Structure 1
Amino acid sequence: MPTHALPGGPGPLTAGLDEVARLLDGGGVAVLSGAGLSTESGIPDYRGVTGSLRRRTPMTYQEFVADEEGRRRYWARSHVGWRTIAEARPNAGHRAVEQLRRAGRVSAVITQNVDGLHRAAGTLDAVELHGGLDRVVCLGCGRTSPREELDRRLHAMNGAFREPDAATNADGDAELPAELVGAFRIAPCEACGSVLKPDVVFFGETVPRPRVQRCFDLVDAARALLVLGSSLTVMSGLRFVHHAARAGKPVAIVNQGTTRGDGYAVATVALPLGEALTTLADRLGTP
């Protein structure tokens, strides 16, 4: 695929955006969004220039389940980082996706993000492939509860445990010194006393099969697939690009940087997501 020039006049980037507009104008486009869509809301991505995976390896499911100290480290860091996620607000990109959905251009939204910002923008039926940080699940009894409820409990147990200058990653995990982590007290399930886990899919964990099938069904029902802000580095998202391409459905990608799906795309655009999506929504006359 050709690389796209920077904005500023006719060129491959403008042609790419025109192609995305043509796809959307026909309606029935499924969206697959990634962390790049939320960076303009102040949430860092995983694999961009400042991505968290360049600095550290995230918590794995296996470590979380097997190691109490691993859980202590996770919850201490997540307790601090949660405020960044909880206080984030939808940006122009999330709002434009919802505009396009209401106008019938977008038929479905699948997101790899766990920040809940599509829901906050009004896309209540967005499929959260990797779950949501605003929910907590008990690994013993299966009870789910709001994250804010757990946040209040952790605050009561740990006082004013805060590290205001801590850098927060895309999964709400803050960078903390070991001495702070070691003193942190973790909370068990109030119903059965077992282990609590954020209702998200950790690295090394499998996305529930019914949720994956739901996403495949949405791609099958769509006329085209539009990828927004994802490098498609992991198969969790790339499989939907493969699925669409095998079915002969056009794929378009808006992302700042190359992706593993570029070879399948009829158009790639390297604009910031808010700018590109607002331009598309305005051009297509959405409310």
Structure 2
Amino acid sequence: MSYQTAAAQIERAGRIVVLTGAGVSTASGIPDFRSSEGLWTEDYSREYYMSNDYFQRHPEDFWKKYKDIFQLKLLQDYRPNKVHQFIHELETVDRQVSVITQNVDGLHQLAGSTSVLEYHGTLNQSFCQDCGRAYPLEDVMQAVVPVCRDCRTTLKPGVMLFGDLITAHDEAEKMVTDADLLLVMGTSLQVTPFSLLPYYAWEQGTAASILINNEPTDKDHLFDTVLHDDLSHAVQQLQKYL
């Protein structure tokens, strides 16, 4: 399949849902935590430390490790790259584009995308477990252990921890089944239940589908068009035909 074919599918679509993974943000300097060179592979115990169970039992040590692992001091230095911008620019008067992202960095919103479902939560906010009040990243960085000003309860990160329930899946499933094009970018589709989303489009058979990833996945057979390429190069090629 060619870039010209993929561009034609995009041109025909009125409702596009874009699924994005870590590959979309790596060009902004954010590491892929689960890749062969990612941070998770350096120490498998990080999954233990980044669990809801560890947070509840050892909040002070959790917050220290959380800030280190997710490099929160650097988060505001990251900027959207040409892939984020390409996804935003797909939005037109006649085309609705929704993003369902595994990424927790907020770069899709910073690039201007207007409909973003953060499937695994966000690093940019934390929440009081009692009253639900949201606190921005700036507040979190000012305290060793951030607490709610009203309840004095330890804040919980907005990112999903290991052991947390995924709350966005039903909404994501509906978005996928309502789309007439599913565009998947920068994810190997290994993490469940996110990896189930392409099956919904495939099973109903009414939506066109494109997968762009730098290496093959075991879900390639679910897609009409599969492109194995660096994402930055891929969007440059697509723009030639759009």
Deviations 1:129-156 (A, max 9, x none): 11111111112221111111221x22xx
Asked whether the equivalents of residues 25 and 105 of structure 1 are also in contact (C-alpha less than 8 Å), the reply is: no
The 1:103/1:229 distance shift into structure 2, 3 A limit, reads: farther
The equivalent residue for 1:264 is 222
Percent identity over the alignment?
31
Of 85, 99, 105 in structure 2, the residue corresponding to residue 115 of structure 1 is 105
Matches of residues 91-110 of structure 1 in structure 2 within 5 Å?
91-102=81-92, 104=94, 107-110=97-100
Q: How many angstroms does 1:258 deviate by?
A: 2.2
Stretches of structure 2 that go unaligned for 5 or more consecutive residues are none
The 2-side partners of 1:65 and 1:102 are apart by 45
Q: Does the Cα contact within 8 Å between 2:97 and 2:115 map onto a contact in 1?
A: no
Q: C-alpha displacement at 1:87, in angstroms?
A: 1.0
Partner of 1:219: 176
Please say if 1:202 is aligned against 2:161. yes
Q: Distance in 2 between matches of 1:54 and 1:251?
A: 31
Q: Report how far residue 104 of structure 1 moved.
A: 4.5
SS of the counterpart of 1:71? helix
**Structure 1 residue 260 displacement after superposition:** 3.3
1:125 aligns with 2:115: yes
Displacement after TM superposition at 1:70 (Å):
4.2
Q: Higher Cα Rg: structure 1 or 2?
A: 1
Distance in 1 separating the partners of 2:214 and 2:126: 32
Q: How many residues align?
A: 236
CA distance in structure 1 between the aligned counterparts of 2:96 and 2:7, rounded to whole angstroms: 11
Q: Which of these residues, 133, 149, 159, is aligned with residue 190 of structure 1?
A: 149
Q: Contact 1:37–1:94 (CA<8 Å) still a contact in 2? A: yes
Using a 3 Å threshold, how does the CA distance of structure 1 residues 83 and 222 change in structure 2: closer, same or farther? Answer: same
* Equivalent of residue 5 in structure 2, options 10, 16, 19: 19
Question: Partners in 2 of 1:245 and 1:112 — Cα distance?
Answer: 20
Amino acid at match of 2:123: L
Pick which of 136-145 and 85-94 moved more.
136-145
Contact 1:33 1:228 in 2 (8 A): yes
Task: Find the counterpart in structure 1 of residue 54 from structure 2.
Answer: 63
Q: Note if 1:275 corresponds to 2:233.
A: yes
Shift in Å, 1:69: 5.3
Partner Cα distance (1:43, 1:85) in 2 = 9
TM-score when normalising by structure 2: 0.89
Q: Distance in 2 between matches of 1:226 and 1:243?
A: 13
Structure 1: give runs of 5+ residues left out of the alignment: 1-14, 155-184
* 1:187 maps to amino acid: P
TM-score by length of 1: 0.76
Other-structure match for 1:171: none
Of the three residues 109, 132, 143, the one matched with 1:142 is 132
Q: Which residue of 2 aligns with 1:160?
A: none
Q: Provide the secondary structure at the position in 2 that maps to 1:87.
A: coil
Separation (CA, whole Å) in 2 of partners of 1:53 and 1:105: 37
- SS of the counterpart of 1:216? helix
Amino acid at match of 1:271: D
Q: Deviations over 1:155-175 (max 9, x none)?
A: xxxxxxxxxxxxxxxxxxxxx
Q: Which residue of 2 aligns with 1:32?
A: 19
C-alpha distance in 2, partners of 1:202/1:282?
40
Q: Secondary structure at the match of 1:38?
A: helix
Report the CA distance between 1:117 and its aligned residue: 0.5
Q: CA offset at residue 273 of structure 1?
A: 1.1
Kindly indicate whether the alpha-carbon contact (under 8 Å) linking 1:34 and 1:228 is maintained by their aligned counterparts in 2.
yes
- Closer, same or farther in 2 for the Cα pair 1:51/1:29, shift >3 Å? same
Instruction: Output the aligned Cα RMSD.
Output: 2.0
Call closer, same or farther: CA 1:257–1:235 in 2, change over 3 Å. same
